[in-house]
Every structure is written in C-alpha cells, then in structure tokens.
C-alpha cells in the first residue's frame, strides 16, 4: 500500500518511521511518502496561509499549494483523507475498510482550517478521531495510518489481530508474562495449567467481564446482536 502524506510539518512524522511500520516499509508492504505542501506554493515567500474572508480568528491554509500538492501525487485509484473534527468518527471498521486501498493520500490541515473550495475540487473524506479539537491534522493522520496499517496483509500476524480489543466486539483479556510472581502478585493459575481449553474459556470470560465493566455500550451491543 502506498500512503502519501501532505503536510506543512514533515518533521512531525518520525513516529511512522519506527518499529512495526518501519519494518513494514523495509519489507515493501508499505510505502509512506511525506510531502511538504510549502514546496508547491507559488507565492514568492512560499506562504501557505492567509486571513479568512469575512473576518474571524486565525489563519486559513490557502487552496493553491494544497491543490498542486494533491495533483502531484493523485491517481484515479487514490482515496483522499482529510482528518477533521467535522468528519464521521473513526473506528476499527473504518480502519479495516481503508486498509483495502492501494493508495491513500492524507492531507493535513493546520491553523484554523483550509479554504473550503478544496472539498469542491477533489473527492475528499473527512474523518474525525474523536470529539475534541487538535492543533492540526498531523497527529490524527498518524493515528489513522498506524491503526489501518495493522490490517494490511503481513504487517502483523493474524493471531494478534484476532485476539486484540474490538476484533470480536469485546475488549482484550488481561495478559501476563514472567516472572510468575511479582511483589506477592501471582499470575492466575489457569494460565500456567497447560490446559488450552481452560485458558481459552478464562480469556473469553475475562474479555466479557472487562467489556461489561469498562465499555457497557459495547457489551449491550454484543447482547443485542445475539438476541436478534
């Protein structure tokens, strides 16, 4: 999968170049390109922002550098995403859906927003990562990219995806590693019993208990689905 990120702050994206995503890039599963929108500005000082018509707080990103930056990477199969608090809220289903595209283009807004004509010029999906406002689209782009990349074939094992939170509508069960006892706290006996059936049963129960306690909304949804 190819991911192009258009931003005024390329230096913000070093987290995408470490750990699992870095390995996925090295092995050719992902290609992440970071493109500086400022390089496309036709202004003699490379300016990319201006005051909003009609007045109001702060500056807006101008449409020309954004338009040319998108055009430089666009192809017909590409899906363009603009992280924004006005988008529909992101979730695991959306992550899975986006992971099926061959080419994604993330456009990062900054300051008070962008000239709205951008959304008339291209088919762009706005996505919110939650009901709060961040200073720009860089962090939400990284959140979306990190989470969708995990669903790209080969990036992580299928087993990890199957057992993690939300994969079956539940939160993940508690996990433990060595030492078997720490500060008087012991790992539950069943996990060291060697009885795989019992381990699976315990994990399912713990998963349900946690979901009921912490995310009643998800728990109720599970029960409704089973009733219907």
Spatial distance between the Cα atoms of 69 and 36, rounded to a whole number of angstroms? 8
Among 132, 162, 185, 189, binds ligand ADE (CB under 6 A): 132
Contacts of residue 175, defined as CB under 8 A and 6 or more positions apart, other chains included, come to none
Report the nearest approach of ligand ADE to the CB of residue 7 (Å).
12
Applying CB under 6 A, does 83 fall inside the site for ligand ADE?
A: yes
Report the nearest approach of ligand ADE to the CB of residue 106 (Å).
11
Among 44, 54, 116, 133, binds ligand ADE (CB under 6 A): 133
Report the nearest approach of ligand ADE to the CB of residue 127 (Å).
6
Q: Which residues of 31-56 are buried (b: 16+ CB within 10 A; e: fewer)?
A: ebebbbbbebbeeeeeebbeeeeeee
Edge-to-edge strand order for the sheet containing 124-128?
A: 31-36, 2-7, 103-107, 79-89, 124-128
Q: Which stretch binds ligand ADE (CB under 6 A): 40-48, 80-88, 91-99, 202-210?
A: 80-88
Q: Which is nearer to ligand ADE, 87 or 174 (CB)?
A: 87
Q: Which stretch binds ligand ADE (CB under 6 A): 64-72, 123-131, 201-209, 220-228?
A: 123-131
Among 56, 58, 130, 188, binds ligand ADE (CB under 6 A): 130
Among candidate residues 159, 206, 211, 208, the one with its CA nearest the CA of residue 187: 206
Q: Which is nearer to ligand ADE, 65 or 140 (CB)?
A: 140
Spatial distance between the Cα atoms of 112 and 134, rounded to a whole number of angstroms? 10
**Cβ(38)–Cβ(6) below 8 Å:** no
Residues that bind ligand ADE (CB under 6 A): 83-85, 128-130, 132-134, 137, 140
């Amino acid at each position: 999968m190819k991911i192009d990120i258009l931003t005024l702050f390329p230096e913000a994206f070093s987290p995408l170049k470490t750990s699992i995503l870095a390995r996925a890039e090295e092995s050719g599963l992902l290609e992440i390109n970071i493109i500086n929108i400022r390089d496309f500005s036709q202004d003699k000082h490379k300016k990319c922002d201006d005051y909003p018509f009609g007045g109001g707080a702060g500056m807006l990103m101008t449409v020309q550098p954004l338009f040319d930056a998108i055009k430089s990477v666009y192809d017909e199969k590409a899906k363009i995403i603009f992280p924004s608090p006005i988008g529909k809220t992101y979730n695991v289903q959306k992550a899975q859906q986006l992971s099926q595209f061959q080419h994604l283009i993330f456009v990062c807004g900054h300051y008070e927003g962008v000239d709205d004509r951008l959304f008339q010029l291209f088919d762009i999906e706005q996505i919110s990562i939650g009901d709060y406002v961040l200073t720009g689209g860089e962090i939400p782009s990284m959140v979306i990219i990190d989470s969708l990349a995990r669903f790209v074939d080969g990036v992580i094992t299928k087993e990890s995806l199957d057992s993690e939170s939300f994969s079956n509508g539940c939160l993940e069960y508690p996990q433990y590693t060595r030492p078997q006892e720490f500060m008087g706290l012991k790992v539950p006996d069943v996990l060291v019993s060697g009885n795989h059936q019992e381990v699976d049963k315990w994990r399912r129960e713990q998963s349900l208990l946690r979901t009921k306690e912490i995310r009643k909304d998800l728990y109720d949804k599970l029960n409704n689905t089973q009733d219907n």
